[in-house]
């Protein structure tokens, strides 16, 4: 059994309901923990709630009920600005349908979050972005 202090991401009673008149419950009372250095896969059939779950875990959407904790910090207690900062500093998404800005190069698309947070990236950030692109076979 993993040490409680190693919990990085925790979901408690996550429920997501869409619609008002006709309601569709996509997630119902989901509880789980992800520990430091642990790899987790979310698999399921089309329409089973994978994207909904990832959007909630990524602080892009809110559950109807329940909460998500990152290092014991509750998403539901964060303001929209705090959630935006959290996403910028802690998460990286690769969407099924990418949303790259065509007027920017690959490295510029990678650096955009750093520009939003602190202005144009430093040479160190650009060097790290280049290193990461090369790691996945892009130059």
Q: Which has the minimum average pLDDT: 10-24, 67-81, 95-109?
A: 95-109
In a domain, 101, yes or no: no
CA proximity to 27, closest of 69, 55, 60: 55
In a domain, 98, yes or no: no
In a domain, 96, yes or no: no
In a domain, 97, yes or no: no
In a domain, 95, yes or no: no
- Average pLDDT (40-66) is 93
pLDDT at 21 over 70: yes
What CATH number did the domain enclosing 75 receive?
Answer: 3.40.50.300
Greater confidence, 66 or 41? 66
pLDDT at 30 over 80: yes
In a domain, 119, yes or no: yes
Dist CA 131 CA 98 (whole Å): 20
| Same domain as 82, residue 38 | yes
**pLDDT tens, position by position, 77-107:** 999 999 988 988 888 776 666 778 889 888 8
| Same domain as 11, residue 44 | yes
| Same domain as 62, residue 110 | no
State the residue range of the domain holding 65: 4-90
Q: What is the pLDDT of residue 117?
A: 66
In a domain, 100, yes or no: no
Q: Are 54 and 42 in contact (CB under 8 A)?
A: yes
How deeply is 40 buried, as exposed, middle or buried, from its count of CB atoms within 10 A (0-12, 13-18, 19+)? Answer: exposed
What is the band of 52 on the pLDDT scale with cuts at 50, 70, 90? very high
**24 in the Ramachandran plot: left (φ > 0), alpha (ψ -120 to 50) or beta?**
beta
Greater confidence, 120 or 118? 118
Would the pTM of this model clear 0.75, i.e. be above it?
Answer: no
The residue with tokens 């959290």 is 86
pLDDT at 66 over 90: yes
Domain count, the chain: 2
In a domain, 67, yes or no: yes
| Same domain as 71, residue 29 | yes
Secondary structure of residue 28 in the 3-state scheme: strand
């Amino acid at each position: 059994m993993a040490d409680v202090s190693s919990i990085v991401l925790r979901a408690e009673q996550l429920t997501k309901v869409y619609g008002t008149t006709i309601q569709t419950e996509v997630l119902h009372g989901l509880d789980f923990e992800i520990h430091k250095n642990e790899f987790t896969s979310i698999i399921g059939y089309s329409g089973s709630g994978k994207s909904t779950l990832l959007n909630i875990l990524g602080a892009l959407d809110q559950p109807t009920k329940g909460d998500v904790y990152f290092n014991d910090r509750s998403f539901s207690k964060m303001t929209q600005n705090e959630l935006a900062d959290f996403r910028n500093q802690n998460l990286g998404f690769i969407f099924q349908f990418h949303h790259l800005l065509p007027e920017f190069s690959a490295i510029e698309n990678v650096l955009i979050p750093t520009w939003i947070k602190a202005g144009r990236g430093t040479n160190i950030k650009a060097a790290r972005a280049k290193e990461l692109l090369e790691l996945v076979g892009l130059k």
